[in-house]
Amino acid sequence: MAGLDAVIDCAGKLLDLSQPKVMGILNITPDSFSDGGDYLSFDLAMEQAQRMVDEGAAIIDVGGESTRPGAQSVTEAEELRRVIPVIEGIAKNISVPISIDTSKPNVMKAAVAAGAGLINDVQALQAPGAIEAAADLDVPVCLMHMQGKPHTMQQAPHYGDLLSEMKTFLAQRIDCCIAAGISRDQLLVDPGFGFGKNLDHNLALLKNLQELAELGLPLLIGISRKSMIGELLNEPADRRLFGSLAAAVLAVDRGASIIRTHDVKPTVDALAVTAAVVL
Ligand code: 7PM
């Protein structure tokens, strides 16, 4: 699988995808940094962002909305309160692009104004006003596949032909984005591991990921510490690193360009070895 020669312009900061890259996860939720929004959690978030960059992250994904299966949704005001100060702080101090993990148009706008350069939307810009906001902001967008809604998506996920349904969905979202004025070279796609998928679905997806690479857009993969790994290993989230690395290597072998992870240094090393053989 040849690497893409794409360089993505994230509001002036460049993301070179000729080699696989690591996206470091920075979750700003009350459970992730003692209590969200105060100075202590702000400082901890800055430190973690800097550490991920030092470890080789090519992009930092800032999220303030819990998209976990069964999670409560977060109000717009709360999401803004969590992520905007952190994005401003990171944008001032580090040189890598920042992505904003949100589905809300007003959060997209405020985040880009604060220094974010990529929109990571698990709802693939389907929320009212999201596609217009993204087109207007003129930053790249990652379109993720999800079956159902976060609160109920894991209850009984079902597919006729998983890969072709996912490809059809993503192709439709790509067409909608282009019709709305977003250029094709600003789009990335993500199969959304764990988002309306059981273990068999997730395994089939990973095994056949190259079919999604055929869409011709950079593939972003979020598999780090997910329940898919936990089910295979019977390990809790904090003991899923080695399994997550195996999945990341398999994904890059099948054409993935960006691996979204909690564990930057181990993933950077695994991808360096993978890329030396695969690309
Ligand atoms: C359970 C399920 C726990 C999901 C945590 C999560 C993705 C994402 C998330 C992904 C993109 C997590 C997630 N997952 N964005 N946001 N792709 N693009 O691992 O797979 O943080 S939430």
Query: Over 70: is that where the pLDDT of 194 sits?
Result: yes
In this predicted model, what pLDDT tens digit does every residue of 44-57 receive, in sequence order?
999 999 999 999 99
21 noted as active-site residue? no
Question: What pLDDT, on the 0 to 100 scale, is given for residue 153?
Answer: 84
Indicate the top mutation candidate among 22, 27, 31, 68 to test ligand 1's pocket, ranked by most ligand atoms within 8 A of CB. Answer: 68
Of the pLDDT bands very low, low, confident and very high (cuts 50, 70, 90), residue 38 is: low
Q: Per residue in 63-102, pLDDT tens?
A: 998 666 666 678 999 999 999 999 999 999 999 999 999 9
Query: How confident is the model over 245-255, as a mean pLDDT?
Result: 98
pLDDT confidence of residue 279: 80
pLDDT higher at 206 or 69: 206
Q: What share of the chain is helix, strand, coil (3-state, %, to 5)?
A: 45, 15, 40
Confidence of residue 1 (pLDDT cuts 50, 70, 90): very low
Of 21, 173, 254, 260, which is the active-site residue? 260
| Catalytic annotation present for 260 | yes
| Percent of the chain predicted with pLDDT > 90 | 83
In this prediction, residues 108-113 reach a mean pLDDT of 98
* Predicted pLDDT of residue 73: 79
Pick the catalytic residue from 104, 167, 225, 226: 226
C-alpha 35 to ligand 1 mean position (Å): 21
Q: Whose CA is nearest to atom 2 of ligand 1?
A: 68
Q: pLDDT tens digits, residue range 132-190?
A: 999 999 999 999 999 988 878 888 888 999 999 999 999 999 999 999 999 999 999 99
Burial of 93 (0-12, 13-18, 19+ CB in 10 A): exposed
CA distance 22 to 265: 9
Strand order in the sheet with 21-27: 187-190, 141-144, 118-121, 98-101, 59-63, 21-27, 258-261, 220-222
Residue 32's pLDDT is what?
Answer: 60
> Which segment of 32-36, 37-41, 71-75 scores lowest on mean pLDDT?
32-36
Q: What is the pLDDT of residue 29?
A: 77
Q: Is the pLDDT of residue 34 over 60?
A: no
- Report whether pLDDT(235) > 50: yes
pLDDT tens-digit series, residues 256-273: 999 999 999 999 999 999
Q: What are the DSSP calls for 221-247, one per residue?
A: EE-TT-HHHHHHHT--GGG-HHHHHHH
Residue 24: the pLDDT is: 98
Closest CA to 143 of 89, 180, 94, 88: 180
Q: Which of 25, 27, 99, 122 to mutate to test the pocket of ligand 1 (most atoms within 8 A of CB)?
A: 122
At 18, the pLDDT band (50, 70, 90 cuts) reads: very high
* Burial class of residue 30 (count of CB atoms within 10 Å of its CB; 0-12, 13-18, 19+): middle
CA 214/CA 182 separation, integer angstroms = 20
Averaged pLDDT of the chain: 93
Assess whether pLDDT exceeds 70 at residue 243: yes
What Cα–Cα distance (Å) separates residue 1 from each residue in 6, 136, 205, 258? 15, 34, 17, 14
DSSP secondary structure, 69-83, as one string: TTPPP--HHHHHHHH
Q: Which pLDDT score is estimated for 2?
A: 44
Domains of the chain: 7-278 (3.20.20.20)
Ligand 1 neighbours by CB, cut-off 6 Å = 25, 67-69, 101, 120, 122, 142, 144, 190, 192-194, 220, 222, 224, 226, 260
